[in-house]
Amino acid sequence: MTRAPRLTLTVQYATRARAALKARLPRATLVRWTKSALLKPATLTLRFVDQAEGWQLNRVYRGKDAATNVLTFVYTEPSDKQVISDIVLCRPVIEREAAEQHKALDAHYAHLVIHGVLHAQGYRHDQADEAREMETLETQRLVALGFADPYRGRD
C-alpha cells in the first residue's frame, strides 16, 4: 500500500467572514482536498483573504491591478524533495466566480485549493500542453472527491 505524502498544513482565515468561512471550510475538509492533490511531502499554508489583501498581493507580486482567485507562492524548487508554499485564496473573488459560473461554492473552493496545490508542486498552465495536463489532474482529483468536472461544458 502506498503511503500518502506527509502534509503539514496551516490554515489562516484572514477575512471579515472568518466564522462563516471556517464553518463552511473546516480544517479537516481542507486537509482532505489538499492531500488529494499532493504528490510529495509538503508544508503548506492556505490563507483565505478579503478583496483588499488579494488585490494588494496580486498588484505587488504579479503587477495586476485586481484581486485574483488564487495566488501560489512557492519557496522550493520542483526538484526538491519537499514542497514549501503559501496558497492565498481570495474569498470574494471565489464566491463571485462561483455565482457567475453557476458552480457550487464548495466545488469551486475545492477546485482552487487543488489548483494552488498543483502550482506549489511545479505545475503550470502557460502552454496548451501544460494546461491540459494540469486540468486533467484537477479533474481527476475533483471527481474522486465527488465533485463534477469543472471544465465540462467549456468552449
Domains and CATH numbers, the chain: 7-144 (3.40.390.30)
User: What is the C-alpha separation between 52 and 75, in angstroms, rounded?
Assistant: 24
Q: Where are the alpha helices (DSSP H) in the chain?
A: 18-24, 27-36, 51-62, 91-100, 105-120, 128-144
- Say what the pTM is: 0.95
Q: Tens digits of per-residue pLDDT, 24-79? A: 999 999 999 999 999 999 999 999 999 999 999 999 999 999 999 999 999 999 88
**Average pLDDT of span 80-109:** 96
- Residue 10 near residue 44 (C-beta atoms within 8 A): yes
φ/ψ of 61, rounded to 5, equals -95, -20
CA distance readout (Å), 56 to 47, 52, 61, 78, 94: 14, 6, 8, 27, 16
